[in-house]
Structure 1
Amino acid sequence: MASKTFDTIIVGGGSAGSVLANRLSARSGNNVLLLEAGQDTPHGKVPAAVLDSYPGTAYLNPAYTWNRLKVTTEVIPHNNPGEQAPPLRTYEQARILGGGSSINGQLANRGAPTDYDEWEARGAAGWNWNAVLPYFKKVERDMDFDGPWHGREGRIPVRRIFPDLWPEHAKAVGQAFEQAGYKYLLDQNGAWEDGYFPITISNAYERRVSAAIGYLDPGTRLRDNLTIATDTQVSELMFDGQRCIGVKAVVAGRPQEFRGQEIILSCGAIHSPAHLMRAGIGPAAHLREHGIAVRSALPGVGQRLQDHPAVAVAAFLKPHARIIQDWSRRHIYTGLRYSSNLPGVPAGDMFTVVTNKTSWHAVGEQIGSFIIAVYKTYSETGQVRLRSAGWSEEPQVDFNLLSDNRDLERMMDGVRRFAALHLTPVMQGVTSDPFPASYSDKVRQVGLLSRRNKLITDALAKALDGPERLRRYLIQTLVMEGTTLQDVLTDDDKLEAFVRKAAVGVWHASCTCRMGAPDDPMAVVDPAGRVRGVAGLRVVDASVFPVVPCANTNFPVLMTAEKMADTILAGT
């Protein structure tokens, strides 16, 4: 394998890489090599946690993530150097074939038409809504609906669990939404309008269908012109002058080189810009700080990092309202799209999902939550920078969530809105003891799958189902982070402090190698994914988004890879 020259080398076997490997190798004359740092997931050997309809044992499993990646999410102060730096947080990024689609919540949505029209307005010619809709349809095999919005022949099945099968908590939430004036929509991926709906999921017959399962199926793997190398971490991009000619990698602990006519980075919005910067492609001054010779001075590499800021309002679920596991292990059934109506902000800018359990363990089954996300975010001051020139060191990642005041304002409004919803009779019928919730590292630690955590949570769950006074005490001392529901409803200062501290990203890192016009100094790639200033190198993943869409990013990534694959096959 090392001596062979491939037509295309794809670095990263996540959602984008899986699509590209399938589509580019469908042309028999193309020799394609797919490199993935994590483990393989071949048919018949997909780990049970990955196949599970409930994702909580996959996305918190250190076997499937980059374990040394830490990020900051709070705004970093620039005008007060003496102020304490924000804390580092764990940020799960997938390290397994299929990437995020192998561990995510399986939410399969697309975003607003206005998102993609904005992409084109920002310089991504040919990426408006009418241009991308056919590729969204190409991705999916919709098991419920057809018509102009839907695909029926794609490699990723999508479906919904309708209200007659919702647990009592989800049904009550639907009633509460109706009483608050929100419309019921059958189809989240139909016309873009406000309302609540059954969440669309990339799941068939109660099993996850990742990009690797859908696109790297047994038939695709039989192709003579497709090579898949897992447990293979790329350490360096190789160049001959300004042309990228291959990669150096560590394969099962041993160094190796692979040569290709074209190299495609599909490592995600954190690792793709890091690869570029280590190769001398990026902000010149920053590269020189680390002793890296500048190959192409692109100030936009690693800049304008985005994610969707989110916080939660949670509550104890009364026993009759909890999930019945007899027919589904899903934990999210219901979503709500609504408009903040802030001046100049497009409709449907806010998104809330309702979780009917919050973790795999017994306490998680007793807690439900509203996860409130600013889906049309204006915070664009995040960045990915190198800590050193060494390939094995994770980059420095600062999201600067809520750096735009419109995001902070809408998040505060969302917390007020869903805190108040818990005080309605319909919600009080299924919940008690509501509280503002933070996805802190403490919560993550308890969420790790271990015998110790199971024993602790089993004991705590029994106590929570005991006397009301004991439950209230345990929730206040062990579960809450110090801010009460009354605080966020009556004290704006406490609400703002909670939101600033508690807001986290939802694993939708995007925009660090943006597509743009030739005259845009911050553009990193052209609308075909080609990296500016060098030859033989493209980026195809969420980092090329000009702005993060109002969606969970997995389906926009799949769409992007499908569209880029067509472009590459057309020779442009």
Structure 2
Amino acid sequence: MAFSLHLLSLGEGATAHLESGGFIRSEPGVPHPDIQYHFLPSQVIDHGRVASTMEAYQVHVGPMRSTSVGWLKLKSTDPNDHPIIEPNYMSTERDIWEFRQCVKLTREIFAQKAFEKFRGPEIQPGNHVQSDKEIDAFIRQKADSAYHPSCTCKMGQLSDSTAVVDPQTKVIGVENLRVVDASIMPSVVSGNLNAPTIMIAEKAADIIKGLPSLQEKNVPVYKPKTLETQR
């Protein structure tokens, strides 16, 4: 989801897009970052397919672990036919609430003193969008998928009717076929998919070669002291 403000400073930006980003929690008590930010020094509309008519800066923001679950199935027995994909966006109240938080928390960030000399009028969603109902309507109009789809080919045990591949990355019910990519993740990770996909591929390579697991035992996991009190 894009969130834009006028850029008041002058001069060309000698920088690439998306050099600044971050992860935050939507509320106290959430055990993992569930909102991701990509900050841009310009305005990008519809993934760059629509030219901007003004100078602006922008942030792309969205929930990390959507609770909405879609589905994918074959259209026919013809392998040349595209499959039927139903992402089922925003089909849970939690997803709607998290997207709403994305807008509210982004406004909180852009309202900070550090942005004062750069801040102009809010372009999207605009100051006229304030109520939860208005924010939800904006989100439904503007939200779309980013570039990190996963979990369409879930890994699981043979007893799991929703699993497509087994713990050895083999397609269940099909001989001599494996899937090794982000699609076999059982659930969405809190971050981009490049690094975990590389890890999946290296693990699958070890499985195929019959090498033992490299997993260490009792690895400590960091837990912030403010988990229950702060975002």
Shorter-chain TM-score: what band?
0.7 to 0.9
For 1:361-510, list aligned pairs within 5 A: 363=52, 366-380=55-69, 382-436=70-124, 483-487=125-129, 490-510=130-150
Q: Could you say which structure has the higher strand fraction?
A: 1
CA contact (8 A) 1:419 1:485 kept: no
In the alignment, which of 317, 320, 333 is matched to residue 10 of structure 2?
Answer: 320
Contact 1:340 1:347 in 2 (8 A): no
Paired with 2:203 and 2:18, the residues of 1 have a C-alpha distance of: 30
Equivalent of residue 556 in structure 1, options 177, 192, 196:
196
Whole-Å Cα distance in 2 between the matches of residues 398 and 500 of structure 1?
16
**Residue 375 and residue 397 in structure 1: after superposition, are their counterparts in 2 closer, same or farther (change >3 A)?**
same
Q: Report if the CA contact (8 A) 1:341-1:347 is conserved.
A: no
What's the counterpart of residue 334 of structure 1? 20
| Helix, strand or coil at the partner of 1:320 | coil
Give yes or no for contact 1:322–1:365 (8 Å, CA) kept in 2. Answer: no
Q: Give how far 1:362 is off.
A: 7.4
Given the two structures, how large is their TM-score scaled by the length of structure 1? 0.34
C-alpha distance in structure 2 between counterparts of 1:564 and 1:316, whole Å: 47
Describe the SS at the equivalent of 1:434: strand
Read off the aligned partner of 1:388 and give its amino acid letter.
S
Deviation at 1:356, TM superposition (A): 1.4
SS in 2 for 1:373: strand
Q: 1:530 Cα deviation (Å)?
A: 0.5
Deviation at 1:365, TM superposition (A): 8.1
Q: Cα deviation per residue 1:154-195 (whole Å; 9 max; x = unaligned)?
A: xxxxxxxxxxxxxxxxxxxxxxxxxxxxxxxxxxxxxxxxxx
Is the 1:422–1:434 contact (alpha carbons within 8 Å) kept by the matching residues of 2?
no
544-553 or 354-363, which deviates more: 354-363
In the alignment, structure 2 segments of 5+ residues that lack a partner are 213-231
Secondary structure of residue in 2 paired with 1:336: strand
CA contact (8 A) 2:32 2:190 kept: no
Q: What whole-Å deviation, never above 9, does each CA across 1:299-331 have from its counterpart, x for those lacking one?
A: xxxxxxxxxxxx12111222437522xxxx521
Once the 2 structures are TM-superposed, how far is the Cα of residue 514 of structure 1 from its aligned partner? 0.8
SS class of match (2:61): strand
Contact 1:412/1:495 (<8 A) preserved? yes
Structure-2 change in CA distance of 1:322 and 1:368 (3 Å): farther
Shift of 1:433: 2.4
> Any idea what SS the aligned residue of 1:414 has?
helix
Q: Answer with 1 or 2: which has the greater Rg.
A: 1
What secondary structure sits across from 1:337 in the alignment?
strand
> What CA distance in whole angstroms lies between the structure 2 residues aligned with 1:342 and 1:335?
20
Aligned equivalent of 2:37: 352
Q: Residue in 2 aligned with 1:210? A: none
Alpha-carbon spacing, 1:318–1:522, altered in 2? closer, same or farther (3 Å): same
Deviations 1:93-126 (A, max 9, x none): xxxxxxxxxxxxxxxxxxxxxxxxxxxxxxxxxx
Normalization by structure 2: what TM-score? 0.79
Instruction: Give the CA deviation at 1:377.
Output: 2.1
Q: Which of the pair is proportionally richer in helix? A: 1
Identity score, percent: 28
Deviation string 1:446-478 (CA, Å, 9 cap, x unpaired) is: xxxxxxxxxxxxxxxxxxxxxxxxxxxxxxxxx
For 2:12 and 2:97, how far apart are their aligned partners in 1? 32
CA deviations on 1:67-101 (whole Å, 9 max, x unpaired) are xxxxxxxxxxxxxxxxxxxxxxxxxxxxxxxxxxx
The amino acid that maps onto 2:61 is I
Secondary structure of the structure 2 residue equivalent to 1:510 = coil
Mapping of residues 301-316 of structure 1, within 5 Å: 311-316=1-6
Query: Are 1:354 and 1:370, in contact at CA under 8 Å, matched by a contact in 2?
Result: yes
